[in-house]
Amino acid sequence: MISKERVLTALARREPDRVPIDYAANSRIDRRLKEHLRLEADDSEGLLRALGADFRTVGATYKGPRLHADVPERGVKVDAWGIHRRWVEHETGGYWDFCDWPLRQASLEEVEAWPMPAPEDFDYSGIRQACERYRDCCVVCGGAGWPDVINACGMLRTMDQVLVDLITDDEGGLRLIERRNEILIEVARRTLEAANGGVDVMCLGEDLGTQRGPTVSLALFRKHIRPPIQQFVDVADDFGIPTMIHSCGSSSWAFEDFIEMGVTAVDTLQPEAKDMAPAYLKKTFGDGLAFHGCISTAGPLATGTVAEAVACCRETLEVMMPGGGYSFAPTHLIQDNTPVENVLAAYEVAREVGRYR
């Protein structure tokens, strides 16, 4: 099978020739992998091919006017949405972490006046060409930021305030969610129109759990978070493609709703979180959902020996492979503290042990 066929077969909960493979990593481990494989620093395609990855992402980049100024004296970068980030170093790498939260105490009027990118300010011109370049792969659009109500609005308003907004029906907070979603839905639609049939899967995201349980109640999810997600699922349906949704933490409590909504697959699947063990997910939801993830970026892949990382991947494959419906992937970005040898061994297991025939 070519990659496209392999992934779509797995998403249909049937057995392909082998388990599809996906890859995502932080910058420093990504760089170390390329160095180890003697690839150029910008040769991301070479790395994906070396690992056997079946997925490729396309999308529109923002080309509109500068809406918000950086804060150079504090090392703060500000994007088109007005989200403030600063680089925070740690012993093995670093992150662009969020700061300032400019809409933390914003009123409805201030939210309405906040500059945001317009759908027409994104460049869709290269999408069809990218789809053609990756025509044998499974081409995806979107990502964890569509619609990402809690996180993305929290980057402007703090997560605490967003949760309060959802509970109290704060008009400013709810309008922020609505405005952002209106823009992203139109970006999604224009992306798929530009792709002209070249996109195979729409990826979505909404972090719904902590390690120990839900972030919000099921009732609150259904009232305020399910509707924006449903809008994206409906757009994907209009174009005849499936959706896959990312959620960190304990999120299986929402999986029955995902099935009702028409979501095809769930991503991340942190095995250490409550009710997220691979065996539980496969038994409980395997008849209604496909799975993408399960390889913990906080477990043996990052902290164990090569043998321990291999054993973890083998065990996951043994549980998730039967009957199809599984794609091998890390639960999040592979972290910078992960040994190169562990990553390479994990992907070798996926390519070899993950074969159905």
Q: What is the pLDDT of residues 210-258, one digit of tens each?
A: 999 999 999 999 999 999 999 999 999 999 999 999 999 999 999 999 9
Q: What is the pLDDT of residue 357?
A: 77
Residue 79 has pLDDT above 90, yes or no: yes
Rounded distance, CA 144 to CA 214, Å? 18
Q: What is the pLDDT of residues 261-308, one digit of tens each?
A: 999 999 999 999 999 999 999 999 999 999 999 999 999 999 999 999
Q: What is the mean pLDDT of residues 160-183?
A: 98
Sequence spans of domains, the chain = 3-65+102-352
The token pair that represents 38 in the structure block: 């003697």
Q: Where are the alpha helices (DSSP H) in the chain?
A: 3-11, 27-36, 44-51, 108-113, 127-133, 149-157, 159-168, 171-195, 218-220, 226-238, 255-261, 278-285, 300-303, 306-320, 340-352
Architecture of domain 3-65+102-352: Alpha-Beta Barrel (3.20)
- The amino acid occupying position 58 is V
